[in-house]
Every structure is written in C-alpha cells, then in structure tokens.
Amino acid sequence: MKFRNVFWGLSLIIIGSLLVARNLGVIDFDWFNILRLWPLLFILWGLSVLPIRDTIKAGILVIILGGATWFVLEYPSSGKYHDFEFIIDKDFDSGNSSLTESQQNFTIPYSDTIENAKLVMDAAAGTFTLKDTCSDLLSFSQQSSRGSHYQYFVRRSGRDVMVNISEDEEHIFHNNNHKKVIISLNPAPVWDISLNAGASSVNYDLRQFKVQKISLDGGAGSFKITLGDKYPSVKVDIDAGASSLTLRVPENTGCDLEITAVLSGKHLPGFTKVSSGHYQTENYDEAKNKIHLNVDAAVSSFRIIRY
C-alpha cells in the first residue's frame, strides 16, 4: 500500500463527504477556513519524503486530516458573509430586516458615537440609487423579479464602523437586470464609499453627506455620481470599462483631475489642461473645498458637470 494512494484516497473521500453533507444541509462550514489550511500542503509534502514506513505515514495522515476536518467544522466563522448577522460592540442594536421572494429590506442602527463610516458594496447587476438620508446608519431596500438576496455584516471599532453588502453566492449569477436597490445613509458620519459595479445603472447623489472618499470599479454600465461640499477634501478613484460616466461637482469647489482614457470621449467644461492627462479648474488653488479625481476609463463616455 503506497502512501500517495492512501493520501489521495482519504483526501478525496473526506472532501467529497463534506461537500455532500453541506449540500444536504446536514452540516455547514465556512469555505474561508479551508483556505486557511493551505500550509498543510507543506507538512504533507514533508511527510511524504520522510524515510519511514508507509504505515506510519498513513497513521500520521489520518490524524492530520482528522484534525483539519474538525477545524473546518468547529472553528468559528471568519465573519465575512453572514445573513443579517452583526459584528458589533455593546452600544449597537441588532437592526431590523425582512425578506420576501421579490423584496428585501434591512436597516442598520445608528449610534451617535460613530464618527467615520465605510460602505463597501458589491453591486453586481441592476439599478442602484443612493440619495436620501435616514435616522439609521443605513437603510437598504431592493426589489427583484428573480428573488435576489443580499448579505451584509457590520464591524465596529471605536468610533469607526464598516458596512459590507454583497449579493448571495446562490443568486449572483442570475440575470438581475430587473433588480432595483435603494440605499439611504445617515448624514452625520464622515463616509468612505466603495462600489464594485458590473453591468449596472448607478445613480449616487451624495450632496447631503460628508464624503471623504469614493472608489468605483465599474464594468459595462451607466454611472452618475453627484458630489457635494460637505467635506473639505474629497478623493475619487474610478476604474471604468465600457461605460457612460457622469460626475457632477459643485462649481465653487476646486477640482484636480488625473485621467487615463483609452478610446473615450471626454467632456470637461471649466477644466484647464496642466499636462498630459492632468486637468484642473481655474479656482483650484484658492477654493476652500477640493476634489481630487483619479479616473482610468476604457471605451467610455466621460463628462464632468459643474453645477
């Protein structure tokens, strides 16, 4: 009985059994815990080259694989994606949520000790709107004809909080072009907003919020972002594919733009070219509030409107 045959046989049996049991709902485990065990490959490699009997190697292998299986099943989840579960400190409530086949709503409670908030959203496909304020930290509502489902978690550290929202893996490959998501935010904290959008239509009106940073990773879609003057220095990073991109910025705000555009149409009224790919508004130096734009656009239509 060769060690490599025992190794592959036991490994495949254990992995297959775990997958079948998980699909049948008998057990549940976090895939991230499996990835955390990758250093075991070096241990098993070292075991295979040790000058000892294959029976001893097989015994050690059983112990290692048994321990790894126990770890996957019993070790606490990484907390990365859980349906309506919070990682919170003592002054947070649990929030409210509801879900039907075509509609999903949840709210994340606000604490007046929060000073900085970060929203990370994986938008996938659909229509996404952000414009209204709310008394909660965040209010989320979505309607879909195909039963789309989102997950979220909240992490609190001192006066900082992070909200991560993403679509359930079971629904992420569905055609969600008919999905409509509306998000409202509390205007009190300073916000950092990160959006990963695929074939989406996005309309973010941020005039009522103190936004210090926006990151947009967009695919083939239509993206409209309106910035306000509630925060003195705003950083905007945009990486867009075959998309239509419109930024609306206050006319009294100084703007600095670094842009790399490949086969893209640019419309930049009020901007003066400083150097190749670098533009500024005439009032940039004396403006009280400033916006720093870094745009990497492929086959796109890109324009800035000063209002």
Question: CA-CA distances (angstroms) from residue 296 to 87, 134, 138, 221, 257?
Answer: 35, 33, 29, 15, 11
d(CA 95, CA 255): 38
Q: How many CA within 13 A on the CB side of residue 219?
A: 10
Q: Identify the residue whose tokens are 């409209």.
A: 224
Which residues neighbour 275 within 8 Å (Cβ) at sequence distance 6 or greater?
A: none
Q: What is the pLDDT along the chain (307 residues), one digit of tens a residue?
A: 555 666 667 667 777 776 776 666 566 655 555 666 667 777 767 777 677 777 777 777 778 777 777 766 665 444 433 333 344 433 444 445 554 456 889 999 999 999 999 999 987 678 899 989 999 999 999 887 666 788 898 999 889 999 999 887 554 444 445 688 999 999 999 999 999 877 788 899 999 999 999 998 877 778 899 999 999 999 999 887 767 889 999 999 999 999 887 656 778 899 999 998 899 999 999 999 999 999 887 756 788 999 9
- Report pTM: 0.66
